[in-house]
Amino acid sequence: MTVTGRTTEDRYPTRLPHATDLVARADPTVWPGRRPGPFTVTDLAGFDRNGYLVVKNMLGDSEMTSLQAEAARLADDSTDDPRVIREKRSGAVRSVFQVHRTSTLIAALVRNPAVLDRARQILGSEVYVHQSRINFMPGFTGQGFYWHSDFETWHAEDGLPAPRAVSMSLALSTNFPYNGGLMVIPGSHRTFVPCIGETPADHYQASLREQEIGVPARHDIERLARTHGIDQFTGPAGSALWFDSNILHGSGSNITPFPRSNVFVVFNSVENTPVEPFAALARRPDYVAERDFTPLDDRRR
Ligand SMILES: O=C(O)CCC(=O)C(=O)O
């Protein structure tokens, strides 16, 4: 693919007509260009090895109280804004996208040095937000998210050349093991799992409700889970999971009365800005795949 005079090679082919071998990741997880920040050398080594890291008490109680009130405001049930995604069966609000633009509190969160400096440390560069969302997993009716690698989607549908992106999932409510807490396959970030099946036109809205395209084959999930095991992120509001863009992850449905809501912020390196989609007919809209690559500035809070 040629983009403004440079060639972008597809090193992670996916959405293929037939099964192929797993691809060993050629890119780093913690990128060179070490920067000072809150993560210790040991933290970064753990992130490199496992593809994820949990930070307890990322934010204090008063900041969390404000964010919880903000999330309740953003989950306004009456809107038909396309950024609000509803549960397939119950119609309850499942996700709200682009919250770093619609909420001044979340705009400040992504620029908070405790957050931003961690993203810069992992990605070894300046960063911007590729995507942000709040996932509300309502009590009784919240549907899970099937196993997937985020990078697979962002590469195929948004044109991210390399897995040089990291997500932070900040718990807004307690994430128990039984109310849909996110599971990860530690170490799976080192393997890219090509997915079978072409990307249909305009499927992204349906996919945000329930992903059917861009999901790995069961035998690949099983192989990675048997090799590496499965871990789960749990913790009270204010805990955060940092996870690599290519780690396999998913969550079960929430049949408990206890809602599970988390803010997800995806930081991408400014040296990994998207080109055209590698395996889709058209770009997704900006509210799921940001096209303003201005680096985040922590002095503009
Ligand atoms: O909120 C969750 O449990 C999973 C979120 C997720 O994997 C996603 O939004 O891609």
Return the domain boundaries, the chain: 22-269
Residue to substitute in 145, 169, 176 for testing ligand 1 pocket (most ligand atoms within 8 angstroms of CB): 145
The confidence score (pLDDT) of residue 2 equals 35
* Helix, coil or strand: residue 26: coil
The confidence score (pLDDT) of residue 77 equals 65
Looking up tokens 């008490």 gives 57
C-alpha of residue 146 to centroid of ligand 1, in Å: 8
Residue to substitute in 132, 148, 182 for testing ligand 1 pocket (most ligand atoms within 8 angstroms of CB): 182
The confidence score (pLDDT) of residue 291 equals 96
Would you identify the CATH topology of the domain 22-269? Jelly Rolls (2.60.120)
Atom of ligand 1 nearest to the CA of 182: 3
Whether 154 contacts 290, CB under 8 Å: no
- Nearest C-alpha to atom 10 of ligand 1 is from which residue? 150
How far apart are the C-alpha atoms of 98 and 129, rounded to whole Å? 9
Rounded to 5°, the CA angle 99-54-234 comes to 85
How far apart are the C-alpha atoms of 41 and 34, rounded to whole Å? 10
The confidence score (pLDDT) of residue 205 equals 74
The confidence score (pLDDT) of residue 1 equals 41
Give the global pTM.
0.95
The confidence score (pLDDT) of residue 226 equals 98
The confidence score (pLDDT) of residue 300 equals 59
Whether 105 contacts 66, CB under 8 Å: yes
- Nearest C-alpha to atom 5 of ligand 1 is from which residue? 145
User: In percent, how much of the chain has pLDDT > 70?
Assistant: 96
Which protein residues touch ligand 1 with a CB less than 6 Å away? 135, 145, 150, 180, 182, 249, 251, 262
Atom of ligand 1 nearest to the CA of 148: 7
Whether 82 contacts 96, CB under 8 Å: no
C-alpha of residue 2 to centroid of ligand 1, in Å: 32
All residue ranges of the chain with pLDDT < 70 are 1-7, 77, 300-301
- Nearest C-alpha to atom 8 of ligand 1 is from which residue? 145
